[in-house]
Structure 1
Amino acid sequence: MIRDLNDTLVFVRVVRLGSFTAAAHALQIPKTTVSRRVRELEQAIGVQLLRRTTRQLSLTEAGAVYFDQCKDIASTLEHAELAVHQLRDGPRGWLRVTVPYSFGVSWFAPLVSGFRQAYPEIKLEILASHVPLDLVADEIDVALRLGALPDSSLIARRLASYATGIYAAPDYLARHGQPTTPEELIEHRALVLHQARRDVGYVWPMRRTGAKFRHYQVEPSVIANDPALLKEALCAGEGLSLGMDQSMQADVQAGRLCRVLPDWIGPPQDLNAVTAREHLPSPKVTAFIGFLKAQISS
Structure 2
Amino acid sequence: MDWDKLRIFHAVADAGSLTHAGEALHLSQSAVSRQVRALEESLNTTLFHRHARGLILTEQGELLFDATTAMAKRLDTASARIRDSEDEVFGQLRVTTTTGFGSLWLAPRLPALYEKYPDLKIDLMLEERVLDLPMREADVAIRMKEPSQADLIRKRLMGVRMQLYASPRYIERRGIPEDVSDIVDHRLICQNPSSTQVGAGATLVAELMTHDVHSTLTVNNYFGVLQAVLNDLGIGVLPNYLMRDFPDLVRVLPEVESSEVPVFLAYPEELRHSKRISAFRDFVQEEIMNYRKHLKDQSIY
Q: Normalising to structure 1: TM-score of the pair?
A: 0.65
Aligned to 2:92: 94
What is the CA–CA distance in structure 2 between the aligned matches of 1:182 and 1:118, rounded to whole Å? 46
Kindly report the root-mean-square deviation, in angstroms, between the aligned alpha carbons of the 2 structures: 4.7
SS in 2 for 1:166: strand
195, 215, 227: which one pairs with 2:222? Answer: 227
Q: Map Cα deviations across residues 164-192 of structure 1 (whole Å, 9 max, x no partner).
A: 43233455555655444434434443222
Q: Equivalences for 1:127-206 in 2 at 5 Å?
A: 127=125, 131-132=127-128, 135=131, 139-145=137-143, 147=144, 152=148, 157-170=155-168, 172-173=170-171, 176-195=174-193, 205=204
Q: Contact between 1:242 and 1:266, CA under 8 Å: does it hold in 2?
A: no
**How many Å apart are 1:204 and its aligned residue?**
5.7
Distance 1:66 1:182, change over 3 A: closer
Task: Give how far 1:82 is off.
Answer: 1.6
Q: Which residue of 2 aligns with 1:209?
A: none
- In the alignment, which residue of structure 2 is the partner of 1:245? 240
Task: Verify: 1:78 aligned to 2:75, yes or no.
Answer: yes
Describe the superposition over 1:230-275 as per-residue Cα deviations: whole angstroms up to 9, x where unpaired: 33443454432232333135555x4xx4323334433334444466
Distance 1:267 1:33, change over 3 A: same
* Distance (whole Å) between structure 2 residues aligned to residue 134 and residue 14 of structure 1: 28
* CA deviation after TM superposition for structure 1 residue 226, in Å: 3.8
> Hey, what's the Cα distance between the residues in 1 that align with 2:217 and 2:129?
25
Q: Is the 8 A contact 2:225 2:238 kept in 1?
A: no
Give the deviation of 1:296 after TM superposition.
1.4
Gaps of 5+ in 1: 207-213
Aligned ranges 1:234-273 → 2 under 5 Å: 234-249=229-244, 251-252=246-247, 254=248, 257-273=249-265
- How many matched pairs? 275
Q: Is the 8 A contact 1:163 1:245 kept in 2?
A: yes
> Which secondary structure state, in structure 2, belongs to the residue aligned with residue 67 of structure 1?
helix
**Mapped contact 1:190–1:221 kept (Cα < 8 A):** yes
The question of whether the paired residues in 2 share the 8 Å contact of 1:163 and 1:244 is answered with yes
- CA change 1:45–1:168 in 2 (3 A) is closer
CA distance in 2 between counterparts of 1:69 and 1:250 reads 44
- CA separation in 2, counterparts of 1:21 and 1:266? 51
1:64 counterpart letter in structure 2: G
TM-score (normalizing by structure 2):
0.65
Asked if the contact 1:135–1:141 (Cα under 8 Å) also holds between the matched residues in 2, the reply is no
Deviations 1:191-216 (A, max 9, x none): 22214789xxx97639xxxxxxx934
* 1:85 Cα offset (Å): 1.7
Mapped partners of 1:16, 1:236: distance in 2: 44
> Residue 135 of structure 1: CA displacement?
3.7
Q: Return closer, same or farther for 1:246/1:62 CA change in 2, 3 Å cut-off.
A: closer
State whether residues 167 and 240 of structure 1, in contact with CA within 8 Å, keep that contact through their aligned partners in structure 2. yes
Evaluate the alpha carbon distance shift between residue 86 and residue 238 of structure 1 in structure 2; reply closer, same or farther with a 3 A threshold: same
Ranges in structure 2 where 5+ consecutive residues have no aligned partner: 291-301
Q: Cα gap change, 1:5/1:260 in structure 2, threshold over 3 Å: closer, same or farther?
A: same
- Tell me the equivalent position of 2:295: none
User: Which segment is superposed worse, 233-242 or 169-178?
Assistant: 169-178
Q: What CA distance in whole angstroms lies between the structure 1 residues aligned with 2:37 and 2:195?
A: 57
Structure 1 segment 32-111 matched on structure 2, within 5 A: 38=36, 41-49=39-47, 58=55, 61=58, 64-87=61-84, 91-98=89-96, 100-101=98-99, 103-111=101-109
- Is 1:112 the counterpart of 2:110? The answer is yes
In 2, the alpha carbon distance for the partners of 1:267 and 1:196 equals 20
C-alpha change, 1:166 and 1:30, in structure 2 (3 Å) is closer
Q: Which moved more, 1:6-15 or 1:186-195?
A: 6-15
